[in-house]
Amino acid sequence: MPGRSIRTYTVLPSLPKSLEPLQKLVYNLWWCWNADAVALFRRINPDLFETLDHSPIRLLRSTEQTRFDELSEDGGFLAHMERVVESLDHYMKASTWFGQTFKADSGTCVAYFSAEFGTHESVPVYSGGLGVLAGDHLKSASDLGIPLVGVSLMYREGYFRQYLNVDGWQQERYPENDFFTLPLVPELKADGTPVIVSVQLPGREVSLRIWHIQVGRVPLYLLDANIAANRAEDRGITAQLYGGDEQMRIQQEIILGIGGIRALRAIGKNPSVCHMNEGHAAFVGLERIRMLMEEEKLDFATASEAVKAGTCFTTHTPVPAGNDAFPAQLMDQYFGDYISKLGIDRQGFYALGRIHPENQSEPFSMTVLAIKLANTSNGVSALHGVVSRKMWNGIWPTLPDVEVPITSITNGVHTQTWLSPEIGQLFDRYIGIHWEEEPTDFAIWKRVESIPDAELWRTHERCRERLVAMARSRLKAQLKRRGTSPAEIDKAEEILDPDALTIGFARRFATYKRGDLLFRDLERITKLLGDKDRPIQFIFSGKAHPKDIGGKELIARVVQYAKREEFRKRIVFLEDYDMNVCRTLVQGVDVWLNNPRRPLEASGTSGMKVAVNGGLNLSILDGWWCEGYDGENGWAIGSGEEYQDLAYQDEVESRALYELLEKEVLPAFYTRGKDGLPRAWIKRMKRSISTLVPVFNTNRMVEEYTERCYLPSHRRFLKLSGNHLKGATELAAWRRKIKGDWGQVLVEQIDAPNGDMLRVGGDLDVKVRVHLGSISPNDVEVQLCYGLLDSMGQIADPKAKALLPSGTVADGRVSFAGTVACQASGQFGFSVRVLPSHPNLPHAFEPGLVTWG
């Protein structure tokens, strides 16, 4: 109704007084990882709960008043509700790992920035692995009591919903989220009006409203541009996750980083540490520097020292093309005025986002910006750490890859979120209830051996039956949407066998993940699928990015194979992959198949979710599986080879996959004793649980982030920002002097054996004369880098030993000396280098100054 003023009002369900505690429960997502709470909501109306994406708020909105009246008189339901509310109250008040372990660091506040958070399917503001990992991160931070808050955008349409046409081609639809049916609470001022912050975009300001979702003990703050104060096109900035072009992407990332930190300040949160989950949030570092400059009247160099001290960065992308980078013209458009506020010139600004600052044509990389503004950077698996160090070694061109200061913290999953209720009850019964509070305790998980084989197997079979029922139901719904004949829809009841070996493949459909590798040899896969004595079946699911034509073609090929008459009952592709489909899949499959091209899988977490439920992984040795596989807890495709010829790689690894299925997986599953139990298979299930679950969970992961990143960063931030930023001021002045004088540094002479034969048990003595000029010996570290030589005559894995000053020579020349013990035989080599040294540097390589002898 254009031109008319519309007033709004809200209608809430009229809950009887005895049921009012339900309102408290639905607004804390703690309920979604508490099986008893989920069971409580399902009890209200199980069919409706399923239909409404397991959303308790929508359930309460849609339930008839007569049902509430019934429940208010149902003693069993009221007792159940009271038990769940008491559990929540106990959880919120209980002492935590962080509170008990780090009492001296009670002032820590970590802000975790991510473009998406996958907390539950009823809050659809996530796309896939990155978001689900971020959601699991919040849940474990809550369990552990980490003083952390999440920051993201509140997408009106979220990520797309997927449906397939008759040819199997992916189509997208973007239904709008009804904020009223989400667990959103607006951030309000004391006078009851919304808290509003703004960010500058070219030629205008965009206002942002702040919403709040409670995830256990952790708040998640979400920024929303869809408010009346903004222009129509600006209201759409927070419409879609990963939608639009470069203009939309940079606008969203400005809102996330710059708007996000402003929002926290506006509601009274002043984080000592900001964690950038992927490069999308890297602008937060720039805004923290600008704010500190403005508030404390500092120069850029001093403010950046303090901000870097309190910043952590995690990269998730193992290919350069997957990292956001913007052309200079676009950066000028959006940051032309902002640069002047930082007090640096255009060249200095672009140097922050370029590997080679002097290269004027190099785009501005968000990942490079994040690395340069953080004091800790990490990949998400050990292998991904290796890949990341190679990818970004250009930032430290004089360092060998192995020493590039990017470490790794391997991903995990939130155990309770992904565990089936039935398996959870088994754990309670046989390994004790402490697994929930201490999921990283190996001793607890070793008790899995005490679970009777028959009980574990029957429980798993029930989960598989539920998966088959879900697959049939969703397939029938898919066929109805496509206008399929009733006869064909009825045939959906015949697909899959609840007793057959069931293998799942579900993930983002990107070409490197090779979703159709299974079909490379049609004759062989046809024979496997046609075996009536040892039936095998596959369930596929996943989305391709709307602009990824290659990924869409992959989906279409899989769907076409599934339509073949000889495959129809044994292969299913489930549309619209989300957390709900994922949960049922990982709880019900026997085997999880993962066959990416190594080393392009940064980590992967879906296989970890399968292990929680006793499923087995069949995977390329890539990402997390390199660390998880021990030879007895699943299967590895290949031995970790990497190929240049991709067609040859597909041929070799598809053959290896068939061999494993034919000779190991199927025999293990179908070799049964007189009691009908596959004892060898169950042994692998228990091995999978006991070796993988205590390691690949987000409690272990978040503990690592806390001990290796958050607390060291918090303490460095306090040290540099205390006493009116005295530490940061001194460090900035020291850095300027060192950078200006570093050209004087020269390794003039090295006295050491060259080509000599030394014996094990002897010593390598090294003396070095270094010209330091005006630089003090206290401001450098002279190191001996030594190690075994590889076939190319390079030191493959160098070790560093500091040499000590042994006397001063005139004219700024200083002697250093040291000894290395010869502990093993072989061909060794060494080099000498000089690095800057300051007690407030996060690491010696951070200034990027290295002089080699």
Q: HEC profile for 512-525?
A: HHCCCHHHCCHHHH
User: What is the percent of the chain where pLDDT is above 90?
Assistant: 87
Q: What is the mean pLDDT of the chain?
A: 94
* Residue 159 near residue 124, CB atoms below 8 Å: yes
User: What per-residue confidence (pLDDT) applies to 311?
Assistant: 98
Element (H, E) at 505: strand 501-506
What is the C-alpha separation between 48 and 42, in angstroms, rounded? 8
**Amino acid code (one letter) for 236:** G
**Residue whose token pair is 């040892």:** 534
Mean pLDDT (whole number) for 67-91: 97
* Residue 58 near residue 181, CB atoms below 8 Å: yes
Element (H, E) at 48: helix 46-51
Measuring CA to CA, which residue among 778, 768, 780 is closest to residue 806?
768
3-class SS of residue 149: strand
Element (H, E) at 609: helix 606-612
Would the pLDDT of 166 be above 70? Answer: yes
User: What per-residue confidence (pLDDT) applies to 9?
Assistant: 60
**Amino acid code (one letter) for 590:** D
Cβ neighbours of residue 763 closer than 8 Å, sequence gap 6 or more? 819, 820, 821, 822
**758 — pLDDT class (breaks 50, 70, 90):** confident
Measuring CA to CA, which residue among 385, 153, 151, 155 is closest to residue 274?
151
What is the C-alpha separation between 539 and 565, in angstroms, rounded? 16
What is the C-alpha separation between 11 and 127, in angstroms, rounded? 31
Mean pLDDT (whole number) for 197-202: 97
* Residue 240 near residue 157, CB atoms below 8 Å: yes
Mean pLDDT (whole number) for 531-549: 96
* Residue 832 near residue 852, CB atoms below 8 Å: yes
- How many C-beta atoms lie closer than 10 Å to residue 400's C-beta? 17
Token pair, residue 501, equals 């070996």
What is the C-alpha separation between 839 and 779, in angstroms, rounded? 9
What is the C-alpha separation between 726 and 309, in angstroms, rounded? 14
pLDDT digits 0-9 by tens, 560-618: 999 999 999 999 999 999 999 999 999 999 999 999 999 999 999 999 999 999 999 99
Element (H, E) at 189: none
Q: Is the pTM of this model over 0.85?
A: yes
User: What per-residue confidence (pLDDT) applies to 487?
Assistant: 86
pLDDT digits 0-9 by tens, 39-74: 999 999 999 999 999 999 999 999 999 999 999 999
